[in-house]
Structure 1
């Protein structure tokens, strides 16, 4: 088995698409609408056929409560790996990204947390291994 898809809840799919593509640098993979439903996914630009991230509209009360609690606790909704977290931090700052945590050395990694402006924290990690 392999991981093909996971989801993150967002409060606005258009705003999320802009953040995840223009700021994080992911690429739009699928964007299909049917009535009031929109299936929207992004993938890594370096691995466009790899795992996808669904940007799911958060109209579920249970999911909204979970999302808000995780955000309030400073827990990221997802983690993305990079080879240079400090340069990614600088690049995203110039694009107006708001960081909850600047690049910080922790055990075996350097991490930063950015607010996706759609209800989630995204952790950017540069593993030391």
Structure 2
């Protein structure tokens, strides 16, 4: 936090997870361990990395939540943001329709039938 980082994504384990997760600094890791880190490397800063098949360049946007982490190339951030806002609005409308009992789910039956499934009443 003192270094003005927005969070930590590590393809490895963290320790002191209870303290880390209780704070406001976002941390995403593959697991938790009781063992401490190696403070003398290996490691590099401001170079491309690859995590789970994603190539992440310095300056790319990295976002995460309890379900995982995604990286957006810097030059695609505005487009992805606009698409994400549209998706969010669509989902809010759908949730309102579900709550009101007015959602049209015929497309599910149509998709199942197209894929060879039979629909029983």
TM-score normalised by length of structure 1: 0.24
Highest relative contact order (Cα 8 Å, sep 6+), 1 or 2? 1
User: Which of structures 1 and 2 has the bigger CA Rg?
Assistant: 2
Structure having the higher helix fraction is 2
User: Relative to total residues, which structure has the larger strand share, 1 or 2?
Assistant: 1
Q: TM-score, normalised by structure 2?
A: 0.25
